[in-house]
Amino acid sequence: MRAIGASVGHGGVIAIDEHKSIPELIHHVFSFAAYESCGKCTPCRLGAPRVEKLFHTFMAGRVGTASDKSEWNDVIAALKLTSLCGLGSGLAEFAESIRHYYSEEVQPCFK
């Protein structure tokens, strides 16, 4: 799977239909991570709930600022570089994949 740029992470599979937006998916995944985080590393403990909250407000109709977009990117970088386990690094891979393949669906969340 790695050869084609795919991963099953911890073995979980999320099925969504065409009615689920990418921001809703991001909110769902980061909500799960915020709940499942052991709390030992800062990116998961603080970053996952922050991204969950950001995308919750975007889904409620608030458009994010340049600062929100920067924070989203900073959390992804921190997860990638400093996570102590696969939960955080998997979140980073998920978010990077979203940015790469679905940027046009995430862009409207930010000014």
pTM: 0.86
**Residue ranges covered by each domain of the chain:** 21-109
pLDDT < 70 positions in the chain: 6-12
CATH 1.20.1440.230 fits 21-109, yes or no: yes
- Give per-residue pLDDT as tens, 70-102: 999 999 999 999 999 888 988 998 999 999 999
pLDDT of amino acid 9: 62
Q: Give me 4's structure tokens.
A: 């084609």
Nearest to 71 by CA among 51, 99, 46: 51
pLDDT of amino acid 59: 85
Nearest to 71 by CA among 90, 54, 56: 54
pLDDT of amino acid 4: 79
